[in-house]
């Protein structure tokens, strides 16, 4: 039996992924590669919806790719590629722009948030059509599953609406994809502000553990994590956000249940818990960081792997785009 397709994407907008990206998304992506024919796209076209310095964008695209490979994306099983290497993304996005309502696009909450932050005059039209480009990313690969975080649910709903609309108007063309929303327990919080999710845009860098941080930095950040004054190691997201986050991180990395970890640390102080969490985090991240550095030191090889990924992606994407162009009535160019 052939495996169903899967697609997901990540922005190359930072020099390092953080622990939340790793435990919340990447571990799951790596785990799905055997059951799905997976396409993982580094969305550089999306990245330029907010201003990027060209040299940084280039480096961050490579670094993002290197970290995904280092963390378990196996390029012999899955296609890992850069969005701008596959022209069909921009081409299909145009077609989808033309079947999306202005009001429909205006209702996207991520656009509303981001454009408010940027200020009405500096938000670009590209930011407005961001979700439609995302729909194109997805629909080109006819995936059944799109693993994403909860914040992407609305974009996947729009993608489904556009796919159904296109199919109804122009004939069956697209598979209707399903969001696979990663579970809440995999959500990692900021170490300094443990009611907010860990995010690269945090106010205090001490709250954020990066995959590219060295061991001493990771240890220091975890040791200075905010806890409480009760002195009891117990999971309670409301009353004990800091301790619960440490337990959540431990559980996500070790695969053990929260109860068994609570049992292990019964009667122990927060210092002991932090030291042990730092241990498991470092044990998980150190090999990824080292492998990333290795991959980054041979840029030609990394670029070659991405070119292979783009070849696999282009084959599928071009076939879907050809169907779309034909369905809407574009003339085929004579050979
Ligand atoms: P972002 O860096 O926000 O673009 O997110 C990339 C991926 O990582 C998405 O699938 C997010 O859902 C996931 N992610 C980001 N931050 C966290 C977090 N603190 N905990 C769990 N998953 C996260
Ligand atoms: N918008 C997604 C995010 O911010 C990134 C993304 C772009 C994506 N294209 C995609 C995710 C296609 C899944 C499928 O995380």
**Residues 271-312 pLDDT 10s:** 999 999 999 999 999 999 999 999 999 999 999 999 999 999
Per-residue pLDDT tens for 20-43?
999 988 988 999 999 999 999 999
Window from 45-59, 80-94, 103-117, 164-178 with minimum mean pLDDT = 103-117
Task: Report the atom number in ligand 2 closest to the C-alpha of 7.
Answer: 14
More confident site: 121 or 321: 321
Q: How confident is the model at residue 325 (pLDDT cuts 50, 70, 90)?
A: very high
pTM here? Answer: 0.92
With a 6 A CB cut-off, is 46 part of the ligand 2 pocket?
Answer: yes
- Whether the pLDDT of residue 121 is over 80: the answer is no
Q: What is the pLDDT of residues 131-165, one digit of tens each?
A: 999 999 999 999 999 998 888 999 999 999 999 99
pLDDT interval class at 186 (50, 70, 90): confident
Closest listed ligand to the CA of 41 = 2
For residue 185, the model assigns a pLDDT of 57
114-118, 236-240, 288-292, 313-317: range with lowest mean pLDDT: 114-118
Active-site residue, 114 included: yes
What percent of the chain shows pLDDT beyond 90?
Answer: 87
Q: Which of 144, 197, 223, 234 is catalytic?
A: 197
Q: How confident is the model over 83-104, as a mean pLDDT?
A: 98
Residue 29 near residue 255, CB atoms below 8 Å: no
- pLDDT tens, residue by residue, 279-289: 999 999 999 99
The ligand with the least distance to the CA atom of 108 is: 2
Catalytic residue among 3, 53, 77, 114: 114
Residue range 221-231: average pLDDT? 97
Told to judge if 183 belongs to the known catalytic residues of this protein, a careful annotator would answer: no
Q: Which residues line ligand 1 (CB under 6 A)?
A: 10-11, 20-21, 24-25, 148-149, 186-188, 197-199
Q: Is 200 a catalytic residue?
A: yes
Which pLDDT belongs to residue 184? Answer: 59
Residue-averaged pLDDT of the chain: 95
Which of 105-114, 218-227, 257-266 is the least confident region?
A: 105-114
- 20, 50, 71, 197: which to mutate for ligand 1, most atoms within 8 A of CB? 20
Q: What is the mean pLDDT of residues 11-27?
A: 90
pLDDT tens-digit map of 190-200:
999 999 999 98
Ligand 2 atom nearest the C-alpha of 137 is 12
Q: Which is the catalytic residue, given 3, 77, 200, 206? A: 200
What is the residue with the minimal CA distance to atom 7 of ligand 1?
21
- Residue nearest (by alpha carbon) to ligand 2 atom 14: 8
Query: Angle CA(323)–CA(143)–CA(49) in degrees, nearest 5?
Result: 85
Residue whose CA lies nearest to ligand 2 atom number 9: 134
Pocket test for ligand 2, best of 5, 10, 163 (most atoms within 8 A of CB): 10
How many Å from the N-terminal Cα to the C-terminal Cα in the chain? Answer: 36
């Amino acid at each position: 039996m052939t495996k169903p397709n899967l697609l997901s994407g990540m922005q190359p907008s930072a020099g390092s992924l953080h622990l939340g990206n790793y435990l919340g998304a990447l571990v799951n992506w790596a785990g799905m590669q055997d059951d799905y024919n997976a396409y993982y796209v580094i969305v550089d076209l999306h990245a330029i919806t907010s201003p990027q310095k060209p040299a940084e964008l280039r480096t961050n695209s490579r670094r993002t790719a290197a970290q995904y490979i280092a963390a378990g994306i196996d390029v012999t099983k899955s296609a890992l590629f850069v969005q701008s290497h596959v022209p069909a993304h921009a081409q299909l996005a145009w077609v989808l722009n033309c079947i999306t309502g202005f009001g429909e696009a205006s209702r996207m909450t991520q656009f509303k948030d981001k454009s408010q932050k940027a200020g009405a005059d500096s938000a670009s039209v590209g930011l407005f059509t961001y979700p439609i480009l995302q729909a194109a990313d997805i629909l080109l690969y006819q995936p059944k599953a799109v693993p994403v975080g909860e914040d992407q649910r609305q974009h996947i709903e729009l993608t489904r609406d556009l796919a159904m609309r296109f199919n109804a108007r122009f004939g069956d063309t697209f598979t209707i994809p399903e969001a696979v929303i990663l579970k809440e327990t995999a959500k990692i919080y900021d170490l300094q502000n443990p009611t907010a999710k860990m995010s690269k845009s945090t106010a205090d860098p001490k709250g954020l553990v990066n995959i590219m941080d060295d061991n001493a930095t990771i240890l220091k950040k975890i040791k200075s994590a905010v806890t409480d004054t009760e002195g009891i190691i117990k999971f309670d997201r409301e009353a004990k956000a800091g301790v619960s986050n440490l337990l959540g991180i431990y559980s996500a990395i070790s695969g053990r249940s929260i109860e068994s970890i609570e049992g292990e640390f019964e009667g122990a102080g927060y210092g002991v818990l932090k030291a042990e969490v730092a241990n498991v985090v470092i044990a998980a991240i150190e090999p990824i960081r080292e492998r990333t550095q290795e991959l980054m030191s041979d840029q030609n090889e990394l670029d070659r792997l991405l070119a292979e990924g783009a070849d696999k992606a282009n084959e599928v994407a071009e076939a879907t785009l050809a169907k779309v162009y034909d369905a809407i009535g574009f003339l085929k160019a004579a050979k």
